[in-house]
Structure 1
Amino acid sequence: DAADLRALALLARALHGDPRAGAAALRAAIERRLDAERREQRRVARLFALQRRLLREGARFVAGVDEVGVGPLAGPVVAAAVVLPARVHLAGLDDSKQVPRPERERLAAEIRAQAVAIGVGEVWPPELDRLNVYRAALEAMRRAVVALGVAPDHVLVDARTIPGIGAPQTSLVRGDARDGSIAAASIVAKVWRDAIMARLEREHPGYGFAQHMGYATREHLLALRRLGPSPMHRRSFAPCSQLSLLPP
């Protein structure tokens, strides 16, 4: 954190001019670490350029929104909406697909600690099958915005436009890699959905939900052929509705 970096900077200055080889090597290692941390801080700061502009223009609450779970054969589509303050410290923030699971969980906890508001929306398989997966994703995002508990002045969305939220929106292609609020929403949604899939593994054993998160892995397809679809499977998806098409 910031205190650790200040301590390292003080140590590097204290070592400056020490003629011992070990001191020089330690100082060089500390300076490399500090340089890497500064580069990361600049990268994360760039992710919030659009939010900073919107806040300067008078917005009070800027929400980033993203969804996860469109492609799996089982489980819900989950969306998150996140309103972050003007100043945040979220080292390592990125699109959830680029962040290893332990880092995602750390970031999700930090986002929850720093966020002004967080909302989550879910659409489960029976409703998803009625709506179709595209409309289900939009509905999950709408529910996430409603669940914020504050009315956003502007909404930043990953490559979509959310119907029925009554706020100006900016749709960003690859927004989860380009905008900090959308990236934060993708992290929160992914960690939330992973926890759901771990629970579904306990409720519907044998499918391996906690391992593949509902995606169409070979192990999942074999379990689907062996056990048939569970209530958590998406019947509108071909592997669930046409078991004869599954590979041997």
Structure 2
Amino acid sequence: MLKPVPSPAVKSYETNLNGRDFVVGDIHGHFNLLRSLLEQAGFDEAKDRVFSAGDLIDRGPYSDEVIAWLKQPWFHAVRGNHEQMIVECAMGLGDIPRHIRNGGAWFHEAPAASQSGIFEVVNDLPIMLEIELPDGRTVGLVHAEAPTLQWSDGWPEAKAYLAGHAGEEWQQQALKCALYSRKKIENSDHSIVEGIDTIYVGHSTVADVTKLGNVVYFDTGCSFGDGALSLIDINTGAIFQRPTTAD
């Protein structure tokens, strides 16, 4: 059950002329790992920014910190399928047992006021975002896969689908693809998504940061005991990682 797409579905961020920009993979409630990574990278809250690939919550021990993180002016995120499950459940249309099986018990055990606050912040998350870099490149971020629904589609068409320009049916297909699809990585598809320089995605767990065409997969599985959380400086490509066991 997919719900109405947030407005705007795609957010754009201008060049950060004063500091660095980082992307972080699926956090799944392991916000302590993220704190350690930011310290390791020498993150400066006054100048730098962090962009999350979604799935901020569920499975990990600190999911209830999600509101505090999303209130930080330097922390930005797209919606993942785990945020989508909260949206659907909070609207009375979701599969609560399914969400609980996937690590969502913490949400359903929380007081109603807390549930409401969490719903409000995750419901506002865009589906995709794009970031302008100082060297003129444009980087995209989406949880699972850019919704290029036809063979000739690129990043501009994906944005148009999510904006509803092709109608509700295509918009819903695009939303499902953006949140859940693994088609590109399952097919080892090295084709380039046109209209964007690099796209960072989570959702599909990889042992190491992996690039297919111009799409970078960097959910290195911090929700699993043998995984890690990955943070990437998108200007330099430097990778910072902390194993789940460090949490």
TM-score range (shorter-chain normalised) is: under 0.3
- The structure having more radius of gyration, on CA atoms, is 1
**Greater share of strand residues, 1 or 2?**
2
TM-score (norm 1): 0.26
